Amino acid sequence: MWWGRRIPTPFLGTAADPSIQSAPTVRLSRGRWSRGVPAGKVAPMQTTTATSVFIAEDSNALRARLVEMLSEVDGVDVVGEAETPEAAIAGILASRPNFVVLDYQLLGGTGVDVLQAVRAKTPDTVFIVLTNHPLLQYRRVCMAAGADCFFDKSADFEKVKQVIAGLRTV
């Protein structure tokens, strides 16, 4: 089972701050999923053993790249996408995914706005911040708001896939 497992330490450090050593405890829930969900929309929930992922990213190209990359992992389904904090909050609360891949900068707000709005309501969800702002002050703010991982888009893009695939098999 996945309950109470820790994210492996190698997934926490980035080129911006490789000194992070402690791994936060994460809890995952059973997946609910569907395919082919357009940005800002939420898939109807269906109980399954698949791992569900919600993507909050303001760049259409990067969202498409994330969906393509995650489609390579067996049993992983993207249940929704959003480019604004409001759409992300609504989608995450409606779909209750196992994982959220969250950009720091969204249209009309930040990923921190999303974390602050949904973290307490979705304790079983793993939040992965993937950003072009890898500086330590952004990492600290995101981790304080409830992020489980913080990755630099330039250096750590593939680590999102590794974390999701790795925690699926734990």
pLDDT band at 75; cut points 50, 70, 90 = very high
Given a cut of 60, whether residue 137 has pLDDT beyond it is yes
Contact of 39 with 83, CB cutoff 8 Å: yes
* Total domains in the fold of the chain: 1
Reported as a single tens digit per residue, the pLDDT across 44-55 is 444 446 899 999
CA-to-CA dists, residue 98 to 101, 110, 118, 135, angstroms? 10, 21, 13, 26
* 42 assigned to some structural domain: yes
38-42, 88-92, 127-131: lowest mean pLDDT where? 38-42
In degrees, to the nearest 5, what angle opens at C-alpha 87 toward C-alphas 83 and 101?
55
Q: Which residue has the higher pLDDT, 35 or 117?
A: 117
In the predicted model, is pLDDT for residue 166 greater than 90? no
Please indicate, yes or no, if residue 56 is contained in any of the structural domains: yes
Domain CATH code at residue 131: 3.40.50.2300
Mean pLDDT across the chain: 79
Please compute the mean of the pLDDT values over residues 143-148 and round it to a whole number.
97
Is residue 126 helix, strand or coil? strand
Burial environment of residue 25 by CB neighbours within 10 A (0 to 12, 13 to 18, 19 or more): exposed
8 lies in a domain?
no
- Alpha-carbon span 59 to 165, nearest angstrom: 23
Q: Please state the pTM of the whole predicted model.
A: 0.72
Q: Is 85 among the domain residues?
A: yes
* pLDDT tens-digit map of 2-39: 333 344 433 444 444 444 433 333 333 333 333 344 44
Res 33: pLDDT: 32
Residue 5 lies in a domain: no
With H, G, I as helix, E, B as strand and everything else as coil, classify residue 100: strand
Evaluate whether residue 134 is within a structural domain. Answer: yes
Q: Which helix (H) or strand (E) holds 71?
A: helix 60-71
pLDDT of residue 168: 54
Residue 27 has a pLDDT of 32
Residue 17, in any domain of the structure = no
Residue 37 in any domain: the answer is yes
The range of the structural domain enclosing residue 138 comes to: 32-168
For the ranges 23-32, 33-42, 69-78, 131-140, which has the lowest average pLDDT? 23-32
